[in-house]
Amino acid sequence: MRSSTTIKHYFKDAWPVLIVLNLSILGSLGIGLKFYTLPIRVPIVLILVCCFTLFINFSAFVLFITEKILPREQEFGKIIKRFRRGDSRMQNYVLPLDYVDENYEIRGRCMTYNPIGGDFYNFLKDKEGNYWMGIGDTSGHGYVAGLFSLMIMNQMGHLVHKFETPHEIIDQILEHLEERTNTYPHIHRSLYATFLLMKADSKGNFLHSGIHPSLVLYKSKEDKTYVVSTDGKFLSTVMNSPLKKPKPSQSFKMDRDDILFCFTDGLFEQKNRSIGGYYGENLYKFLETAPKKNIRKLIDDLFSDVVKHTGGRIQDDMSLLVIRKF
């Protein structure tokens, strides 16, 4: 079934190349036979040409299945269609829907390397009306990373109603992870996640904790962006130093029309294979210069720009969480 599907895609996607390739061989054969004077019999020549034609077509098929024959624009178009129609099963079934109320606009987007990835984000309100937002990146890809991420999201949804600060909740998740790993020894201790947990009140006062890429805070009144550093612990049973002193949650303030950008490392580490450069600095330049009135469009434009940079071939999950203060 898989082979027949591959062959079907081959003829569907590469038919222009096949036509040009085989017509070129036939044309060369016709011209060659017209001026043919060598003593080898024509049937033998035809057999040799057929063998050569089969070899060329087989080579073209091998190049196709190794993704070396498809034009970059075609790969780019495929992945753009994928993320625009939301073909990301983690996002469709697990990650929270965009949220807007009188205090905040919160929107997320995740594009996974596989249908199930290690990137995740989550946001909800507790019983006191505080807003909790988290974004993380579990090591690896596939269902194991996805299950680890689901465990973190589940613990976050439970613990925000029992504890007051982000660093307390991260410590509780670590305790739960240690207990679970001891109960089920086959769980790989090498599996870990970077995770940033934030708590905000209705006035824009934020607390945050966790090891994760720095945040970008756009201050509307100044029309300027600032980098907000993060600090805390990995979600891991082996990666946190026992000598590291626990740190309280850090804080910052969002005012009206300010926008906060939170992203996983996959967003700025996407690589252009042709020039060998990472997206990196382009991300910060984009966030500084892009129009910020419509956050949904800003997210779409950013993901399009990243995919264009990679030539349509992303190498890692990438997620973005954007928060606007009203």
* The pair of three-digit structure tokens given for residue 319, joined into one six-digit string: 């997620």
- Exposure of 187 in the CB half-sphere (CA atoms within 13 A): 18
What is the distance between the alpha carbons of residues 92 and 192, in angstroms, rounded to a whole number?
24
Residue-wise pLDDT for 129-179, tens only, equals: 999 999 999 998 778 888 899 999 999 999 999 999 999 999 999 999 999
234: Cβ contacts below 8 Å, ≥ 6 apart = 192, 193, 194, 195, 211, 240
- Say whether 166 sits in a helix, a strand or coil: helix
* The pair of three-digit structure tokens given for residue 248, joined into one six-digit string: 């309280």
Q: In sequence order, what are the beta bridge partners of 322?
A: 107, 261
Residue-wise pLDDT for 22-78, tens only, equals: 788 777 777 776 666 666 676 777 777 788 788 777 777 776 665 544 455 555 555
**Domains in the chain, please, with CATH?**
1-84 (no CATH), 91-325 (3.60.40.10)
CA distances from 135 to 61, 156, 241, 264 (A): 41, 11, 22, 8
pTM of the model: 0.74
Q: In sequence order, what are the beta bridge partners of 63?
A: none
Q: How many residues does the chain have?
A: 326
- Say whether 110 sits in a helix, a strand or coil: strand
Q: Is residue 154 a contact partner of residue 122, using CB atoms and an 8 Å limit?
A: no
* The pair of three-digit structure tokens given for residue 226, joined into one six-digit string: 């600032």
DSSP state of 271: B
Q: In what order do the strands lie in the sheet with 259-263?
A: 99-100, 104-111, 318-325, 259-263, 215-219, 224-228
Residue-wise pLDDT for 245-268, tens only, equals: 677 999 999 999 999 999 999 999
